[in-house]
Structure 1
């Protein structure tokens, strides 16, 4: 199963200058809980935004750079199709960004785990528009803002709509 996982503002903003534009500890915990033990696919810039590889996950980095150096245990490929192909069959694989990789994976994904951050921010990277006729929301969980979370947010789980639903 190919799952897109992201946190995006109401205006689909993901980040600016290769960094997140908010700090949501509960969303980080959820991301870790969902992706731990799995393959995670990302673009080079997303990978470079981490101080080091995320623990207990196999990183698959997409880049056009030749001879791109990565730490042991990480895999490098040239495109999304190669990234998916090197992941084990019958496993849950997570696409974790950035904007262009999300865009390329929208037609291939089976599920979207989206944290909708209830604000609009300035950004240079955006999540693709979710076409409602292609997806069904199967779970929704609202979290108000609090002392640790400047913005309220909602977890949405989407699955690809079946032909019968359309």
Structure 2
């Protein structure tokens, strides 16, 4: 038996080179898009981390303002003192950090104000605090206050 041998259909080398070039362009574009998405995700992660730090500070201050009956601020030392009959806690405030015994909040402050009975105070007992973070720290405003107990008004000296 005789078989017919013919030419097997295939692609020419020029056609293969065009396909490889197009494939390389498509794969390169895919990696470029992936790189852009990764950078965007990194930016979102950084913004989230900055806002999370300010929110943790806000939450910690809310808890402490409502847990302790006496809150005192000393501007010279940069310390915020919380106390009640059973325990006490201190916050140390410097320009770009706020420390407690257990926590460190990496928040840069643009403005801080302390109030007692709606009057701004630099030293002494307070019942509200206003903090504004810098642009690098998310440019957030934190305002925390507490309801004063009757003992606060009795013991307070005008």
Normalised-by-shorter TM-score class: under 0.3
Higher fraction of helix? 2
Scaled by the length of structure 1, the TM-score of the pair is 0.23
Higher relative contact order (CA 8 A, sep 6+): 1
Structure number with larger C-alpha Rg: 2
